[in-house]
Amino acid sequence: MDIVKAIAAARGAGRNALDEETGKRLLASSGIVVPKSVVVSGVEKVEAAVAGLRFPVVAKVMSAEILHKSDAGGVKVNLDSLAAVREAVAAMAEAPGIKGRNVDGYLVEEMAPAGQEIVIGMFRDPQFGPLIMVGLGGIFVEVLADVAFRICPITEQDAAGMLDELRGIKLLDGARGRAPVSREAIVDVLLKLGGKDGLLMALPEDVAEVDVNPLIVSKDAAVAVDARFVLAPAGAEAVQQRTTKAGDAAKRFERLFAPRTVAVVGASATGVTMANTFIGRMKRFGYDGAIYPIHPSAQIVDGLPAYPSLAETPKPVDYCYIAVGAARVPEILENAQGRVAFAQVISSGFGEVSHGVGLERALLAAAEKGGCRILGPNCLGLYSPRGKVTFPETAPAEVGPVGVISQSGGLGTDIVTRGDRRGIRFSGLVTVGNSADLGPSDMLEFYLADPLTKVVGMYVEGVPDGRRFFDLLRANAAKKPVVILKGGRTQKGQAAAASHTGALAGDDRVWVALSHQTGCVLADTLDDFLDALLAFQTLTMRMGKATKQVALFGNGGGTSVLATDFFYRHGLDIDPFDKETQNGLDALKLPPGTSIANPVDAPVGTLQQEEGRIAEKILDVIYSHAKPDAVVMHLNLAAFVGRGTIDPLDNLITAAVRMQEKFPGQAHFLLVLRSSGSPDVEAGKQRYRERAMSVGIPVYDELSNAAIALSAVSRFEGFRAGR
């Protein structure tokens, strides 16, 4: 059927949705089963019309003014004779919720075979385009919001995963005496709607929401008995999606991440501005390329020869740092004459404030004219150790494997400084601010292609080109772990939504969907984010299988008990060791008070035996017999530091290193160094942290941090293994 014509007809009649009959014909055109039906104008037409239908049938009112037909008394089911249909139609016409409304007619349709009611819907996300939703009907959707979303197009695996995500899924399989229903039939409908060649991908943008409520699923069939296609308000602007630029992304951004010529706009010849500070930092950080201060009149700025415009520098500019009043920026860029590759606009006062929206447009136009790409505006800068560029004062000089994108400048600084303390090393960190031109997707594309980057971390509040973002992550196919710290994830609900699906499609849902579909890991807090990045930086991801079994080993009984609960809650098991392992540990004749089940709880006295070398024997038994996927060793430092002359920590770390050498690739090893917070313990902790990091062991503050990091690893491995 011609959907464009159907939409035009509905709009022409002043409607904001397609009528049910048209909606069902659309579904049918995609191969979805709908009941055989006829539309009648009134009681007198019933007899001729229902001749071709098989009883029992259902009669429903059709009216653009009635949203929920049942609530208005406009649905009568189980009509088993012509007389019953007549009676139903006559009664409906007189029902209080219907009488006096504009009625198009009555839909008479065959009853679907009895089964479980499922709701399927579509909501057009402003960033990601069509999302598909599935949930169990009735209270499951309406009260419990037990639904799963995915970004279209979905694969068969996505569709099956959506069903697994539902809390009420057991009902489909026959729990509580229900007849089991066909999961395959639901997956089939999900694909016919949300798959690559499905209806949703083909729908014009002005269909904003779809509700199929319900789809009745039995043992072997699925029938869509209600369909609602909601139109976007007329004249609504389609979201402009930017397209991927062709070519090698690693090459495209080389001049940004390793610039040989840096221009600085906004440095003063007499005072100290942000730009002067930037020049100072670059010099201290060891940048050895050319720095060109741009100044309208001065000859020398910060001891460097200055130039009046970007067009007059000795060599073309790879990276230009701009921190002057917002109003001056467009003109400066317009005069660049194609000699600037990348300009990072630090200045604020653009699209982030209502009066700056026009200026941001002018900025973009000027950059295009001047031939350069823009980062920002309203950001803090770039940290790229490979190019010796930095904006935070204290940033590690070494190049590492973690590439970060941050939509917030302040948080970007935190990520570098706090990450540094944890031992995270970066391949780069770029703050993208308002993302007027280059945004999170461009930088993601770079890091995914960049050979130095092994892990990507992103702080994002929104992506202007969600579809491209999604495609990039999908194409990555979990080759590189991507950790996303999403700002603004709380469920706001869509106040204006006209369907169930729309009302349930809060901002959080699409990110959860993204994570399910691409294997990216979502972090809730800055700490979780950094802890996960550290794990991905240091640990070697396991192929073909997700980390599940964990052995805990350390001092502190209550601590182990609490940790066990926490690990379980994050999908990791700390199961008691088998007999063989326990016998092996028994044979070590550990002092009384040592618990050997898993968690292995060893008092300080035990750990100090043989100056800590006892740990190696314990670990050896665990690695040889129990063979867990991960070992987490936790030490309460206050019990060691300053207690006696024996400091066994070095030996404990050495034991861990030796195990990793003896059983390569067998288990992830994480160390938790718990501090009391007192200055001497803190100092000791930092020393041990560095020692552990130097041999590739990630160190965490608490067991809960280690659990969250390990569950991120497990999720990533599980996604990759399931592909």
Query: What are the backbone dihedrals phi and psi of residue 55, each rounded to the nearest 5 degrees, phi first?
Result: -80, 155
Interaction mask 47-66, ligand ADP, x per CB under 6 A: -----------x-x------
Span of 168-176, 225-233, 455-463, 696-704 interacting with Mg ion by CB under 5 A: 225-233
Name which of 111 and 301 has its Cβ closer to ligand ADP: 111
Structure tokens at 81: 């004779």
First-to-last C-alpha distance (Å) of the chain: 36
Based on the shown chain and the rule CB under 5 A, indicate whether residue 501 belongs to the binding site for Mg ion.
no
- The DSSP result for 306-358, as a single string, is -BSSGGGSSS-EEEEEE-S-GGGHHHHHHTTTT-EEEEEE----STTSGGGHH
Among 116, 213, 434, 453, binds Mg ion (CB under 5 A): 213
- The DSSP result for 46-99, as a single string, is HHHHGGGPPSSEEEEEE-TT-S-TTTTT-EEEEE-SHHHHHHHHHHHHHSTTTT
Based on the shown chain and the rule CB under 5 A, indicate whether residue 63 belongs to the binding site for Mg ion.
no
Among 226, 507, 616, 717, binds Mg ion (CB under 5 A): 226
Interaction mask 114-153, ligand ADP, x per CB under 6 A: ---x------------------------------------
Span of 77-85, 208-216, 548-556, 597-605 interacting with Mg ion by CB under 5 A: 208-216
Count CB neighbours of 358 within 10 A: 11
Span of 88-96, 109-117, 170-178, 460-468 interacting with ligand ADP by CB under 6 A: 109-117
Name the residue among 721, 714, 723, 700 with its Cα closest to residue 667. Answer: 714
Angle, CA 22 vertex, CA 16 and CA 23 arms, to 5°:
75
Shortest Å, Cβ 74 to ligand ADP: 7
Shortest Å, Cβ 193 to ligand ADP: 17
The Cα 33–Cα 225 span in angstroms is 9
| Residue 200: contacted member of ligand ADP, Mg ion, none (CB under 5 to 8 Å, by partner type) | none
Shortest Å, Cβ 67 to ligand ADP: 7
| Residue 70: contacted member of ligand ADP, Mg ion, none (CB under 5 to 8 Å, by partner type) | ligand ADP
User: For ligand ADP, how many residues bind (rule: CB under 6 A)?
Assistant: 17
- Helix and strand tally (H, E) in the chain? 27, 28
Based on the shown chain and the rule CB under 6 A, indicate whether residue 209 belongs to the binding site for ligand ADP.
no
Task: Check: CB of residue 390 under 8 Å from CB of residue 288.
Answer: no
HEC readout, 14-30:
CCCECCHHHHHHHHHHC
Structure tokens at 213: 């409520």
Interaction mask 299-318, Mg ion, x per CB under 5 A: --------------------
The Cα 103–Cα 533 span in angstroms is 59
The Cα 553–Cα 574 span in angstroms is 11
Shortest Å, Cβ 225 to Mg ion: 7
Task: Check: CB of residue 406 under 8 Å from CB of residue 412.
Answer: yes
Span of 126-134, 213-221, 571-579, 608-616 interacting with ligand ADP by CB under 6 A: 213-221
Among 41, 70, 241, 686, binds ligand ADP (CB under 6 A): 70
Name which of 213 and 344 has its Cβ closer to Mg ion: 213
Name which of 41 and 70 has its Cβ closer to ligand ADP: 70
Name the residue among 294, 259, 498, 491 with its Cα closest to residue 386. Answer: 259
3-state SS of the chain: helix, strand, coil percent to 5? 40, 20, 40
| Residue 21: contacted member of Mg ion, ligand ADP, none (CB under 5 to 8 Å, by partner type) | none
Based on the shown chain and the rule CB under 6 A, indicate whether residue 77 belongs to the binding site for ligand ADP.
yes
| Residue 75: contacted member of ligand ADP, Mg ion, none (CB under 5 to 8 Å, by partner type) | ligand ADP
Q: Provide the binding-site residues for ligand ADP, judged by CB under 6 A.
A: 35, 58, 60, 68-70, 75, 77, 109, 111-112, 117, 213-214, 216, 225-226
Q: Provide the binding-site residues for Mg ion, judged by CB under 5 A.
A: 213, 226
